[in-house]
Structure 1
Amino acid sequence: MRPSFDILIVGIGGQGTVLASNVIGEACIIENRSVRSAETHGMAQRGGSVESHVRIDGRYGSLIVPGTADLLIAFDLLEALRYRHYLSASGRLIVNRHLVVPTPVYQQGMDAPDEESILNTLANLDLTCIDAAELAEEAGNILSQNIVMLGAASAEIPLRPESLEEAVRRCVPPKTVDVNTTAFRLGRERGAGS
């Protein structure tokens, strides 16, 4: 028996990776499931990389070992590229069709990567690409992209969608509950359709 279902959520500072991991943790509490999590923030406040490790039903530590993640949820194409080595051979990648080019690329006059070349590099993985910005705008707020991505990945997470949606209600500010539950449902529909 496998000890845990391991989810790595990656993005850059301000994209809401920690909130997304908190929603999964809250859904585990709702279902009375064991959960362990850890975040690394780096230079998050300056647009740096952020990673959130979530281990459902795990008996051991909070950090996921590279090559063992069951699910990688990437809020940015470059972060998907950077963390793809965490996926297991049977792992699944759900990625936002969004690309933030790091400032040093411009400062050092380097060629900026493009969406097509990144997706070509990721093509050998079990991949679903979502335009979270479009769905977040449809839900009513561009800032709900993280919840769109969680909805898109929800079919892969071994928790009931109702538990995840209730966890969204509990974790987001009260004035944004309607927008975020709509974002979750739109993401879930889009993820199921891919």
Structure 2
Amino acid sequence: MKIINVLIVGVGGQGTLLASRVLGKLAEMKGYACKLSEVHGMAQRGGSVVTHVRMGDEVFSPIIAEGEADFIIAFEELEGLRARHFLKKDGELLINRQQIMPMPVIIGVKTYPKDIVAKIKKEGINVLDMDALSIANECGNSRAVNTVMLGLLLRRLCVDKESAKEIIKAVVPAKLLEVNLLAVEKGYDYYN
């Protein structure tokens, strides 16, 4: 298998690290090598979190170079905008239409960009967008945004739905399993 590069971006508390563990488990189940690199920034304060995931037959470096990501999974709009330069020309940006105001916006020294998804699409980038927060709320837990988005990503990676659920079962804590199984299924079926 060629190397698949997935960049996961969000803000602290959105579950980017759990998402990377899910992809690591996918690689393990498929018998692929996998390298992860996590950049936390001020994650505990709602700051950016970026996780590089590389999987394939042979993977030597955990870092995805600019212009080399097959997929970017963005749990928040502005983080997707900031990370788009990592995407390959034929890559896909999977973006949650959720806006989490960063501190400079909250204190009034900056403004949050308008029409982020439309702007990215205008640049010719392949975008699949969804309101994963609303879907997660329908599933019973707003914190399942990451799992909704993972469902979409796993489908784009050609993982069958039952295998996607098995991966979630292997990684997600038992007390959160029911809502996350529903979330991964809804994300998987979103563009059906």
**TM superposition score normalised by structure 2:** 0.92
Q: Which residue of 2 aligns with 1:74?
A: 74
Report how many aligned residue pairs link the two structures. 189
Letter in 2 for 1:169: K
Residue 119 of structure 1 corresponds to which residue in structure 2?
Answer: 117
Deviation per residue, 1:16-56 (Å, 9 max, x gap): 00101101111221222221111110110011110111111
Which residue pairs with 2:156 in the alignment? 156
Q: Secondary structure at the match of 1:95?
A: strand
C-alpha deviation, 1:82, in angstroms: 0.3
Structure 1 equivalent of residue 50 of structure 2? 51
State how 1:159-170 maps to structure 2 within 5 Å. 159-170=159-170
Task: Determine if contact 1:66/1:87 at 8 Å carries over to the other structure.
Answer: yes
AA matched with 1:33:
Y
Q: Which runs of 4+ in 1 moved over 4 A?
A: none
**Counterpart Cα distance in 2 of 1:61 and 1:162:** 30
Q: CA RMSD in A?
A: 1.5
Determine if contact 1:31/1:163 at 8 Å carries over to the other structure. no
The residue type equivalent to 1:107 in the other structure is: I
Q: Distance in 1 between matches of 2:46 and 2:112?
A: 16
The offset of 1:96, in angstroms, is 0.2
| Aligned twin of 1:83 | 83
Tell me if structure 2 keeps the 8 A contact 1:28–1:159. no
Q: CA deviation at 1:10?
A: 0.4
Task: Indicate conservation of the 8 Å contact 1:135/1:148, yes or no.
Answer: yes
Counterpart of 1:15 in structure 2 is: 14
Q: What one-letter code is carried by the residue in structure 2 that aligns with 1:29? A: E
1:75–1:98 contact (8 Å) kept in structure 2:
yes
Offset of residue 158 of structure 1: 5.0
Letter in 1 for 2:120: L
* Counterpart position of 1:41: 40
Shift of 1:109: 3.3
- The one-letter code matched in structure 1 to 2:117 is L
Q: Which stretches in structure 1 are left out of the alignment for 5+ residues? A: none
- Which whole-Å deviations, capped at 9, do the CAs of 1:109-155 have from their partners, x for residues lacking one? 333323x2x12220121001111111111212111110000001222
Supply the distance in 2 between the matched residues of 1:139 and 1:170 (Cα, whole angstroms).
Answer: 19
The one-character-per-residue Cα deviations of 1:60-113 (angstroms, maximum 9, x if unpaired) are 201100100000000000000000000000100100010112111232433332
Q: Distance in 1 between matches of 2:109 and 2:131?
A: 28
Give the Cα–Cα distance (whole angstroms) in 1 for the partners of residues 87 and 30 of structure 2: 26
The aligned amino acid for 2:25 is E
Is the contact between residue 161 and residue 185 of structure 2 (CA under 8 Å) also seen in structure 1? no
